[in-house]
Structure 1
Amino acid sequence: MRTWRGKLVLWSLASMFAVALVFAGVTYANLRKSLLEEERRELDVRTEALVRVLRENPSLLRSLSSPRDEERRATEQAWEIRLRAFLYPDERLSLFGEGGAVLLHIEGDGEEGNVEGDDAPFANLTLYREFSSGGTTYVLRVDHPSTRLKTLTHLLLRSLLVGLVVAAAGSTAGALLLARAFLRPLHALLQTFRRVREADFSARAPVGAADDELAELARTFNAMMDAVEASVARERRFFADAAHELRTPLAAISGHAEFLRRWGDRDPERAKRSLEAIREETARLTRLVEGILTLGRLEDPDALLALEGSCWAEEVLLPLVEEYRLLYPHVEVSFSSADRSPCVSPAMARSLPQEPLPPHVFPLACESLRHLARILLDNAVKYGAKGGEGGKVVVGVFVAEDGAGFFVRDYGPGIPERDLPHVFERFYRGDPARRRGGYGLGLSIARAIVERTGGEIRLANLPDGGLCALVRWPSPA
């Protein structure tokens, strides 16, 4: 059978029938054994009663040992009438004297029973009892045919066979119902799969009322589809935002190019300004494309190979601090290896040593650390001034019980609390004051670098003003 319904029906029927067959076999064997033991006990009781009657009449026993004459025949008839009361119609009784001589033989009134050997399925029950009376030893033999046992066991066997047929029919019906109940949620899940195949990412599998494995499968699938739908929505929004951001510099370049085509030779000064604008827009466009490509590479599973490695933090951060001091002389950029500012939590601050720390090793390649630090420093320098030309930026490293990392803090206006949950989203630029030529890709790239190397990054406004960007990698297990 190719369908799961057919397989479930077949497997259920086979398993239920096998269980019923084993149960019937065990029941038949136990009941047959019980009937046989019961008949043996009952026969033993009647045989003991016969022995007791014979032992209580020694004179009659002696008369049975005399030569056959009228008196002995009368005695045999009297004993036969008396002893037949202890026998079933199909039983036989034999009394043997010394030397094995047959003194008395009584046949039951019924049909002759089974006389097969002891190894037959329904063999006779035969009991021997040896007793003494008047100094003479006698042997009593009682043959109990298995006719009654055979009748009862045949009746039991027929009943069990009928039960097996009923069990098979019930198993088939139960298997069909079980298959239908089991496959109904799977069919619903299959329909959901088909909708997803048709790019309907809003499709969700129905979750049954029963809290079983199928319900857990449906919940897991729905959670996966929630993530897929959110990812698809982010990708669509990303491409829409990218198209929007690309449109602005392309429109500017197109406008200036059209001006140069028409009037460039008539107004050299304006043509020069247009060429400079084209150069600036081209540079902006290049940065935007590079940011998009960087994000795309970081989402590639093979990107982790380029990020993996280890790097001495001070070898990257100290030269960067010196570089930014030269590039931005109006901003005070400093490095601290034991910063006590609110940039780190109190628990983290307590774990910082009093003296300068030795070099730290972070679990990523130096080029990736340099790229990450540049993004955070660019943001801090760009937005860290409280006004005018002044500003201050602090770069620091820290070690805590649960890991190590670095931070970059500024003393600027910070980020509105409503924007903090969204600052790592692509192209997000919530506060107009922070839209100074950027595209909203830097922090997205920073988060991708940190998370792909097993760390975490957080932004927080500080009580005394400014913003802190904190990067932490957990301690190795």
Structure 2
Amino acid sequence: MKLRTKITLLSSVLVMTILLFVDVTVHLLFVKIATRNEREVLQNKWTEIIAETGSAMILKNAWGPELKDELSGDTILRVFDQQSRLLYEVSRQSRFKLGDIRFDPSQSSQLTDVQGHKILVIHLPVLSPEGNQEGALEIVEKWDALENNLNILDTILVTSTTGAMLLSLVGSTILANAILLPISSSIQTMQEIERSLKFKKIPARTHNQDELSQMTATFNRMMDRLEESFQSQQQFVSDASHELNTTLMIIEGYANMLRRWGTRDEDIYKESIESIYEETQRMRTMTQQLLTLASSQQKEPEPYERIELIGCCQQVIAHFKPVHDRQITIFTDEKEIWIDANLAKINQLLVILLDNALKYSSAPIEILLSTDEKDVHIRVKDYGIGIPVGEVKRVFESSC
């Protein structure tokens, strides 16, 4: 079942339950209030009649002719003695039987059903002039007005409840659509990312700060982090591939030197073996970095050490000499330049810059080292084709 259907059904059922509870409550309250009002009217009316007629006249059935004028066609009057024995009953034209109504002097009034009709029964004591109870008067009235009013009330409640339920169903559908609209947009964006394998953000609703907006903002931040991580991986793989290729070229150059002159020239033999060993160590370091990148995306601080920059540059230049017969010169006013940096990263930077200079130029290459109060500057200068002005700002972007 879709979430839209669940929201519509649950909200509709909740509203229907509330409406049914309200309908039942209104029905019961109406019956209670109407019964109380009718009881008070009848009690006040017959209490006055009893006081005017007197207990002796009532018990002897010596009512005047005006008694029947007080009785409607749906009212029966019954008189009981002190032992709750029926003495007599009076009615004008009763249209129902009292066989189902049992006299109970302990109840002052009750509303009951007889033959499908609402019957209101009221008990009043018959007191002597001294205040002693000598009997009881029971007024039984068929309450057609209550039945009619209840029918009208029930019709109104059923009609209004049915209309409210239909409106609730429509409102629940509109509510579900309004709630799920940003979720549907998020799903479409995610599916598009899955199909195109490109990073894309969900349009944010800046005017709203509800939970859906928070979910959208969280998703967009996650996309930013994933894109940044993906680009970092691409950059690292590109740089590592570039450096591995350069390292392999250096190893290949020294291997050729060993094959040609290594057996005859001991100095060349030692130099080649030492350089090959250093390059394999660099390859091991890069391999370890690749494994670290694959096992964890957490950025850990690179270890820094004290490095003499001029000697570092000379060492990198020495590695290129067997492969490229080109002049690479260091220009600096300093005898020594010490910096705190990561040696592997400095070597990687110099290898990339020199490899590009060797690849895209044929003239001698210059390395310019200078210092000021706070910084050390490394410049690699070649006389090649150069970089177009419009592409300078993209020089640090990955080429893969």
TM-score (normalised: structure 1): 0.54
Query: How has the CA–CA distance of structure 1 residues 53 and 137 changed in structure 2, closer, same or farther, with 3 Å as cutoff?
Result: same
* Corresponding residue SS for 1:221: helix
Shift of 1:220: 1.2
1:176 aligns with 2:164: no
1:105 aligns with 2:90: yes
Task: Kindly indicate whether the alpha-carbon contact (under 8 Å) linking 2:78 and 2:139 is maintained by their aligned counterparts in 1.
Answer: yes
Task: Kindly indicate whether the alpha-carbon contact (under 8 Å) linking 2:307 and 2:338 is maintained by their aligned counterparts in 1.
Answer: no
Which of 187, 191, 194 aligns to 1:190? It is 187
Equivalence for 2:226: 228
Per-residue CA deviations over 1:95-149 (Å, capped at 9, x if unaligned) read: 55788574672336x8659975566484432323322259994533211223222
1:212 aligns with 2:210: yes
Task: Kindly indicate whether the alpha-carbon contact (under 8 Å) linking 1:91 and 1:144 is maintained by their aligned counterparts in 2.
Answer: yes
Task: Kindly indicate whether the alpha-carbon contact (under 8 Å) linking 2:76 and 2:141 is maintained by their aligned counterparts in 1.
Answer: yes
C-alpha distance in structure 1 between counterparts of 2:6 and 2:36, whole Å = 44
* Corresponding residue SS for 1:124: strand
Task: Kindly indicate whether the alpha-carbon contact (under 8 Å) linking 2:306 and 2:339 is maintained by their aligned counterparts in 1.
Answer: no
Query: How has the CA–CA distance of structure 1 residues 257 and 106 changed in structure 2, closer, same or farther, with 3 Å as cutoff?
Result: same
C-alpha distance in structure 1 between counterparts of 2:279 and 2:239, whole Å = 14
Which of 246, 249, 258 aligns to 1:248? It is 246
* Corresponding residue SS for 1:164: helix
Task: Kindly indicate whether the alpha-carbon contact (under 8 Å) linking 1:93 and 1:106 is maintained by their aligned counterparts in 2.
Answer: yes
Shift of 1:173: 0.6
Task: Kindly indicate whether the alpha-carbon contact (under 8 Å) linking 1:253 and 1:281 is maintained by their aligned counterparts in 2.
Answer: yes
Task: Kindly indicate whether the alpha-carbon contact (under 8 Å) linking 1:95 and 1:138 is maintained by their aligned counterparts in 2.
Answer: yes
Equivalence for 2:128: 132
Query: How has the CA–CA distance of structure 1 residues 195 and 128 changed in structure 2, closer, same or farther, with 3 Å as cutoff?
Result: same
Q: Which amino acid is the alignment partner of residue 77 of structure 1?
A: P
Shift of 1:228: 0.7
Task: Kindly indicate whether the alpha-carbon contact (under 8 Å) linking 2:204 and 2:213 is maintained by their aligned counterparts in 1.
Answer: yes
Equivalence for 1:92: 76
C-alpha distance in structure 2 between counterparts of 1:48 and 1:172, whole Å = 54
Q: Which amino acid is the alignment partner of residue 90 of structure 1?
A: D
Task: Kindly indicate whether the alpha-carbon contact (under 8 Å) linking 1:116 and 1:123 is maintained by their aligned counterparts in 2.
Answer: no
Higher relative contact order (CA 8 A, sep 6+): 2
Percent of residue pairs bearing the same amino acid type: 18
Which of 256, 264, 289 aligns to 1:295? It is 289
Per-residue CA deviations over 1:195-241 (Å, capped at 9, x if unaligned) read: 33235443112333331211111111111111111100100000111
C-alpha distance in structure 1 between counterparts of 2:234 and 2:286, whole Å = 14
* Corresponding residue SS for 2:12: helix
Equivalence for 1:312: none
Per-residue CA deviations over 1:266-292 (Å, capped at 9, x if unaligned) read: 9955x974x666545533432233223
Equivalence for 1:17: 16
* Corresponding residue SS for 2:65: helix
Per-residue CA deviations over 1:292-340 (Å, capped at 9, x if unaligned) read: 3323444566999xxxxxxxxxxxxxxxxxxxxxxxxxxxxxxxxxxxx
Equivalence for 2:42: 43
CA RMSD of aligned residues (A): 4.5
Unmatched segments (≥5 aa) in structure 1: 67-71, 305-371, 386-410, 416-422, 440-462, 467-477
Equivalence for 1:344: none
Equivalence for 1:283: 277
* Corresponding residue SS for 1:380: strand
Shift of 1:251: 2.7
Query: How has the CA–CA distance of structure 1 residues 50 and 282 changed in structure 2, closer, same or farther, with 3 Å as cutoff?
Result: farther
Q: Which amino acid is the alignment partner of residue 306 of structure 2?
A: A
Task: Kindly indicate whether the alpha-carbon contact (under 8 Å) linking 1:185 and 1:214 is maintained by their aligned counterparts in 2.
Answer: yes
C-alpha distance in structure 2 between counterparts of 1:128 and 1:302, whole Å = 92
Q: Which amino acid is the alignment partner of residue 36 of structure 1?
A: T
C-alpha distance in structure 1 between counterparts of 2:170 and 2:21, whole Å = 20
Which of 152, 173, 196 aligns to 1:155? It is 152
C-alpha distance in structure 1 between counterparts of 2:129 and 2:168, whole Å = 64
C-alpha distance in structure 2 between counterparts of 1:266 and 1:139, whole Å = 138
C-alpha distance in structure 2 between counterparts of 1:293 and 1:259, whole Å = 26
TM-score (normalised: structure 2): 0.63
1:31 aligns with 2:27: no
Shift of 1:180: 0.7
Q: Which amino acid is the alignment partner of residue 224 of structure 1?
A: M
Unmatched segments (≥5 aa) in structure 2: 102-110, 312-335, 354-372, 377-400
Query: How has the CA–CA distance of structure 1 residues 88 and 281 changed in structure 2, closer, same or farther, with 3 Å as cutoff?
Result: farther
Per-residue CA deviations over 1:63-110 (Å, capped at 9, x if unaligned) read: x948xxxxx7xx7434433xx1xx5552223455788574672336x8
Task: Kindly indicate whether the alpha-carbon contact (under 8 Å) linking 1:246 and 1:285 is maintained by their aligned counterparts in 2.
Answer: no
